[in-house]
Amino acid sequence: SFRVEVSAGSVLFRQGDAPTSAFLLEQGEIEVTTRHGEESRRLGVLVAGDLLGEMAVIDDSPRTATATALTDCVLTPIDRTQFAERLDDADPVVRALLLSQLTRYRSALAQLSGQREPAPSAQVRDARAQDAAVALDKIRLESELREALERRELEVRLQPILEISTNRVAGFEALTRWTHPERGPVSPADFIKLAEETSLILPIGDYVLAEVCNALRRIGGDGDAAPFVALNVSGRQLDDPGLLDRFLAALVAGGVAPRRLKIEITESLVLDYERVSGIIARCHGAGMKVALDDFGTGYSNLGHLHKLEFDTLKMDQGFIRQMSDPRCYAIVRAIVGMAHSLDCDIVAEGVETELQLRQLRELGCRYAQGWLIGKPLPVPEALALL
């Protein structure tokens, strides 16, 4: 078996040893001690189910204590890579917290044993300091984002979406902007991702929706041709079971018809097909529309697409950018055709030139969005386009 057996009285590892593995104690008892001159101090006794020797493995430093079997013991060794690889993949904030606690623990231990701490090499120290700086900067930015939200400093802009055949602005996509007092504009790709790592995305999403409701009220209009606003919703928001009810309540309170709101779900989330089909059904039940965002970026399983009743496909800007290439043009034509066959509206994203717009018109693509039509605008400027 992979297990290790040690008999009562034997030493598993000694203070100062280089770490090779950690252990899970399966049976027996182990005493952990640290030396202080001639004297040995007991730090604790470990029993079945406890982990030992993990500290030195985590930061690759010499053992800070000696482990001696009090009874016959059975242990499962845990290779250092099992921790190291997970730590490398971990959130840098979590990694920095762990390492800073370990450092603190080690110096407390060194004091207790009256020994000097083994100093890490300059290289290790630099790498750790840099890791910690990155992590702290991230935490700081997150606090500032939370504050910006509280002070209502996030700005929701509206980017126009053109109905190509009528040359009329049919609706908008809401895109959120954050201008940091010192750093300047922070890309939403960055701050939304940061907010996504914690539940901060939920109040941000509610805030954006409230702003969108205000905008929809100001846009006004009634009937089927009234302009819509599309709202980006991320994975963690969709995990929140209360999200759609909150959205609906906000729409009702704002006196806005739910069909004027379109939820954009990015293609990478569609991998979880069951979940997305449930969300689409609930949106439709409440009267809201749903768009598949970034279509063609490589995540959609075409085998499932026919079962997902999206109202709109948003063709990723990558296709539009390369449309001057005949082969790419052929793909765009096929995507437009596919959307029509699925009875789905289609939006071309990232339209920047007259040529692209003309080509899209030829192909019968219904909607276009991009800098050529308009950048994401403050609400009053967006209203002026109607």
Selection from 136, 227, 215 nearest residue 176 by Cα = 215
Selection from 314, 312, 250 nearest residue 286 by Cα = 250
* Cβ at position 282, least distance to ligand C2E in Å: 18
* Cβ at position 224, least distance to ligand C2E in Å: 25
Tell which positions 73-132 bind Ca ion, by CB under 5 A. Answer: none
Q: Which stretch binds Ca ion (CB under 5 A): 23-31, 67-75, 116-124, 349-357?
A: 349-357
Choose the one of Ca ion, ligand C2E, none that binds residue 345, judging by a C-beta under 5 to 8 angstroms depending on kind: none
Choose the one of Ca ion, ligand C2E, none that binds residue 211, judging by a C-beta under 5 to 8 angstroms depending on kind: none
Tell which positions 340-359 bind ligand C2E, by CB under 6 A. Answer: 350-352
* Cβ at position 344, least distance to ligand C2E in Å: 17
Tell which positions 157-196 bind ligand C2E, by CB under 6 A. Answer: 159, 175-176, 187-189, 192
Q: Which residues contact 351 (CB under 8 A, 6 or more apart)?
A: 320, 357, 360, 368, 369, 370, 371, 372, 373
Choose the one of Ca ion, ligand C2E, none that binds residue 188, judging by a C-beta under 5 to 8 angstroms depending on kind: ligand C2E
* Cβ at position 206, least distance to ligand C2E in Å: 11
* Cβ at position 164, least distance to ligand C2E in Å: 15
Q: Rule CB under 5 A: say whether 232 interacts with Ca ion.
A: yes
Measured from the CB atom, the residue of 64 and 232 that comes closer to ligand C2E is: 232
Place of tokens 């701490």: 117
What is the rounded distance in angstroms from the CA atom of residue 173 to the CA atom of residue 373? 12
Q: Rule CB under 6 A: say whether 322 interacts with ligand C2E.
A: no
| Choice from 144, 211, 267, 294 touching Ca ion (CB under 5 A) | 294
What is the rounded distance in angstroms from the CA atom of residue 306 to the CA atom of residue 344? 11
Tell which positions 218-257 bind ligand C2E, by CB under 6 A. Answer: 232-234
Specify burial of residue 117 (Cβ count, 10 A radius: 0-12, 13-18, 19+).
middle
Q: Rule CB under 6 A: say whether 294 interacts with ligand C2E.
A: yes
Tokens of 57: 């493995």
Place of tokens 């700086």: 133
E-assigned strand segments in the chain: 4-6, 11-13, 21-27, 30-36, 39-46, 51-52, 66-69, 73-79, 155-163, 168-180, 184-186, 228-233, 261-266, 289-295, 312-315, 345-348, 367-369
* Cβ at position 178, least distance to Ca ion in Å: 17
Which amino acid, one-letter code, is at 40? S
| Choice from 266, 300, 312, 356 touching Ca ion (CB under 5 A) | 266
* Cβ at position 114, least distance to ligand C2E in Å: 55
Measured from the CB atom, the residue of 66 and 234 that comes closer to ligand C2E is: 234
Rg (CA), the chain: 29
Measured from the CB atom, the residue of 65 and 233 that comes closer to Ca ion is: 233
Which residues are 229's β-sheet partners? Answer: 172, 261
Q: Sort strands 345-348 and 73-79 into parallel, antiparallel or unpaired.
A: unpaired
Report how far apart, in Å, the C-alpha atoms of 286 and of each of 82, 103, 136, 356 are: 47, 53, 42, 36
Applying CB under 6 A, the residues found at the interface with ligand C2E are: 159, 175-176, 187-189, 192, 208, 232-234, 293-294, 317, 350-352, 370-371, 376
